[in-house]
Chains A and B, each alone.
Chain A
Amino acid sequence: AQKITQTQPGMFVQEKEAVTLDCTYDTSDQSYGLFWYKQPSSGEMIFLIYQGSYDEQNATEGRYSLNFQKARKSANLVISASQLGDSAMYFCAMRDRGSTLGRLYFGRGTQLTVWP
């Protein structure tokens, strides 16, 4: 079974608008971390935001916020006031205690395009 599911292969948003990128996860662990990464066309993997399973408040980092709904096992990324530079691939990822390799499980990604 997929540990991380991103159901939107591509999303389009107009500049200055907000956009939500969906992510659902699957784990039976109580202790886990959820991460979002941005990968521009240049290829590097840029960390955006993190949510721990015990965090009661949704994480925020500047224009990025994470809509964490634990019961639904969803961790959607919200980008407010989109900018042209936000056009990139976005990956949701998870690390849990069941992961003896310490690895991150990645979703397949969502390609976001911001248009003027």
Chain B
Amino acid sequence: EAQVTQNPRYLITVTGKKLTVTCSQNMNHEYMSWYRQDPGLGLRQIYYSMNVEVTDKGDVPEGYKVSRKEKRNFPLILESPSPNQTSLYFCASSLSEGPLDEQYFGPGTRLTVT
């Protein structure tokens, strides 16, 4: 089954404790992206990747890191999480960055930083 998986689905952590949210897709997609969703602010892009070893910042990259060492995986790293990073995070992938390609979303990760 074609899908985007994220882990963990739920995470409660403390300020400053490094964490990684994994994302994996099995559709051989070149384009992958991370979004965060906050009430009243909608979905905002954090980072994206056009292909292996090609990543760039989105709208709200501060406090986050990503890597793309393999085509299927695109982990999101929070080196020193802070409470303002409490949010619902989505990983998405598509065949390319082109406008006619649908973005498939993972199930989301609810992160709470205390």
Contacts and interface: CB of A to CB of B under 8 A. Distances in A.
Interface of A: 29, 31-33, 35, 37, 43-47, 50, 52-53, 91, 95-97, 99, 101-104, 106-109
Contacts of B108: 43-45
Given A52-B100, A102-B94, A103-B58, A47 B42 contact: no
Given A102-B31, A103-B45, A104-B43, A95 B107 contact: no
Given A43-B88, A43-B108, A108-B42, A101 B102 contact: no
Interface residues of B, number: 27
Contact of B42 (A35, A97, A102, A106): A106
A10 to B, nearest CB: 14
Question: Would you call the interface of chain B mostly helix, strand, loop, or mixed?
Answer: strand
A101 B99 contact: no
Interface of B: 31, 33, 42-43, 45, 48, 50, 56, 58-59, 88, 90, 92, 94, 96-105, 107-108, 110
Question: Would you call the interface of chain A mostly helix, strand, loop, or mixed?
Answer: loop
Given A37-B105, A43-B110, A106 B33 contact: no
Contacts of A96: 99
Contacts of B103: 35, 95, 104
Contacts of B33: 102-103
A60 B37 CA distance: 28
A43 B106 CA distance: 10
